[in-house]
Amino acid sequence: MRYRIGGKEVPTDPGAALAALRAAYAKKQRVECLCTDPAPLCYLAKIGETIIVKRMPNTGARHDPECEHYEAPPELSGRGEVEGTAIKENEEEGTTELRLGFPLSKVAGRAPPAPSGTEKTEGDVVVEKGKLSLQATLHYLWEQAGFNRWTPAFAGKRRWATIHKYLLEAAAGKHAKRRHLSDVLFVPEPYVVDKADDIAAARRRRFAELRPEKNSLFLVVAPLKDLAPSQFGMKLVLKHMPGKQEPLYLTKAAGETLQKRYAAMMQLAQALEGSQIIVIATVQQAESGVLNADTVAMMLVDKHFLPVDSFEDADLTNALVADERRFVKGLRYNLSRSTPMATLQLTDVAGSLAMYLIPRDADELFRPKLESLMAESSIPSWTWESTEPMPAIPPPTSTERAYPRPSA
């Protein structure tokens, strides 16, 4: 990325860039992003010892679609519905406040909530307006980490180690329910057999940190290995978390509800080679050390960790990856499947292109809603009726920018 501060372009040399960013942060100077003209303004935030450049609130659509600060217009993502209410950015402090629609503490006598999802996809979990469901929280972290974006340079570079690193970074500077999100999030590090004992010990220490009080809940994000019966109920077996104490335990009723709610996703995961289901759960560690899942949501990703939710979505995504295209996947957050939304935004064509899939089970209201959405959008559209062959995809009209990104 290229930036300008006080009329001078930030040097591309990492050391010089670091010095420039730190000096600008101390003076509370704004930063111009040179991805387009006129240059959108950004601000600097300090997370720990790191200085990062962040876009100004509600300015994501002003950036070039290939800029890392770009954010899709509201019609292309479910984020538009919760921006400014469930997600509030504080540009002065460089932090973000999240309003969660699920608890982070266990209240005696409260039954565990139903598995979280969108209203019509994963069963009518009612989320108070202006709050993030558990699924929406996973979508937010995924988007903040950049895992809904794709360029040919990412090929072969997305492994769990990458996901682990950037999910934790995405949580930095975020707050929810008067707690730092980093203090309530566990993402398992990649499992290495030769380091199994050290990894297990580090995990136990981390669980102790995540449980400051007996009734505390924390978040776990990890790939699903199995949803299986246990002696007295069911258990979520997660990848990178081996061992008898590491599954997330559920009551039999909760496990069966989860199986029913995500049956279509699990079937799709079996059929799509290389795909995985990412679990996000609120978890309580019992006095015995057992991990009990309180609320659970899931998201299907392909072998590149790009979110997909149908065969057609996977086919389109795979075709674009194979053709070395650049794009941003849309994420639903709290939106139901009956609400039209762009499946992805192709960013390597002039002005970008919003690509919409019309599902095979679309009801009679879906098409009028989609037509209205496309008519109101400033971005050209492409549609695919899922029951028809895939239409031709416009060729790329732009070349990828090679802007080095200053690190601090």
Concatenating the DSSP letter of every residue in 302-323 gives: -TTS-B--SHHHHHHHHHHHHT
**The predicted structure's pLDDT at residue 369:** 94
Residue 166, domain member (yes or no): yes
Measured between its terminal Cα atoms, the distance across the chain in Å is 13
Q: Are residues 135 and 111 in the same domain?
A: yes
Residue 402, domain member (yes or no): no
Residue 108, domain member (yes or no): yes
Residue 391, domain member (yes or no): no
Q: What is the DSSP letter of 40?
A: P
**The predicted structure's pLDDT at residue 281:** 97
Q: Are residues 47 and 146 in the same domain?
A: no
**The predicted structure's pLDDT at residue 60:** 80
**The predicted structure's pLDDT at residue 126:** 58
Tally of domains in the chain: 3
**The predicted structure's pLDDT at residue 110:** 57
**The predicted structure's pLDDT at residue 124:** 41
Burial annotation 293-323 (CB, 10 A radius, 16+ → b, else e): bbbbbbbbbbebbbbbbbebbbbbbbebbee
* Vertex 212 angle, CA 99 and 245, to 5°: 100
Q: Are residues 42 and 176 in the same domain?
A: no
d(CA 203, CA 140): 24
| Domain end position, chosen among 22, 38, 71 | 71
Average pLDDT over the chain, rounded to an integer: 88
Phi/psi at 23 (5° precision): -65, -40
pLDDT range class, residue 5, cuts 50, 70, 90: very high
Task: Give the three-class secondary structure for 212.
Answer: coil
Check pLDDT > 90 for residue 31. Answer: yes
As a whole number, mean pLDDT of residues 281-302 equals: 94
Q: Are residues 119 and 152 in the same domain?
A: yes
Nearest to 250 by CA among 230, 262, 234: 234
Residue 396, domain member (yes or no): no
Q: What is the distance of C-alpha 317 from the center of its chain?
A: 17
As a whole number, mean pLDDT of residues 139-158 equals: 94
194-253 pLDDT tens trace: 998 899 899 989 988 898 788 899 999 999 999 999 999 999 999 999 876 679 999 999
**The predicted structure's pLDDT at residue 91:** 73
Q: Are residues 235 and 281 in the same domain?
A: yes
Give, for 68, the enclosing helix (H) or strand (E): none
Q: Are residues 99 and 139 in the same domain?
A: yes
* Vertex 62 angle, CA 58 and 68, to 5°: 90
Phi/psi at 324 (5° precision): 60, 45
Q: Are residues 183 and 249 in the same domain?
A: yes
As a whole number, mean pLDDT of residues 14-21 equals: 90
pLDDT range class, residue 388, cuts 50, 70, 90: very high
As a whole number, mean pLDDT of residues 134-144 equals: 96
Domain of residue 253, residue span = 86-301
d(CA 186, CA 314): 28
CB 1 within 8 A of CB 67: yes
**Residue with token string 């600008």:** 24
Residue 400, domain member (yes or no): no
Residues with Cβ < 8 Å from 402, sequence gap 6 or more? none
Burial annotation 193-216 (CB, 10 A radius, 16+ → b, else e): eeeeeebbeebeeebeebbeeeeb
Residue 401, domain member (yes or no): no
Identify which has the larger pLDDT, 244 or 302: 302
Identify which of 71-80, 81-90, 266-275 has the greatest average pLDDT. Answer: 266-275
| Domain end position, chosen among 281, 301, 321 | 301
Taking the CA atoms of the chain, what radius of gyration do you get in angstroms?
22
Nearest to 181 by CA among 190, 169, 189: 169
237-277 pLDDT tens trace: 999 998 766 799 999 999 999 999 999 999 999 999 999 99
Q: Are residues 49 and 153 in the same domain?
A: no
| C-alpha separations of 147 from 140, 222, 255, 259 in Å | 10, 14, 28, 26
Q: Are residues 167 and 188 in the same domain?
A: yes
d(CA 267, CA 2): 44
Q: Are residues 289 and 341 in the same domain?
A: no
Q: Are residues 125 and 246 in the same domain?
A: yes
Q: Are residues 118 and 214 in the same domain?
A: yes
Percentage with pLDDT > 90 across the chain: 64
Check pLDDT > 80 for residue 130. Answer: yes
pLDDT range class, residue 108, cuts 50, 70, 90: low
**The predicted structure's pLDDT at residue 338:** 87
57-66 pLDDT tens trace: 778 878 888 8
**The predicted structure's pLDDT at residue 357:** 96
CB 289 within 8 A of CB 147: no
pLDDT range class, residue 403, cuts 50, 70, 90: very low
Identify which has the larger pLDDT, 1 or 275: 275
**The predicted structure's pLDDT at residue 97:** 95
Helices of type H across 127-244: 134-144, 160-171, 196-209
Provide the token pair at 186: 């566990």
**The predicted structure's pLDDT at residue 76:** 80
**The predicted structure's pLDDT at residue 112:** 53
Q: Name the pairing type of β-strands 185-186 and 218-229.
A: parallel
**The predicted structure's pLDDT at residue 406:** 34
List the single range of 17-31, 270-284, 388-402 with lowest mean pLDDT.
388-402
Check pLDDT > 60 for residue 114. Answer: no
Percentage with pLDDT > 70 across the chain: 91
As a whole number, mean pLDDT of residues 394-404 equals: 64
Residue 398, domain member (yes or no): no
* Vertex 329 angle, CA 325 and 330, to 5°: 150
| Domain end position, chosen among 39, 71, 103 | 71
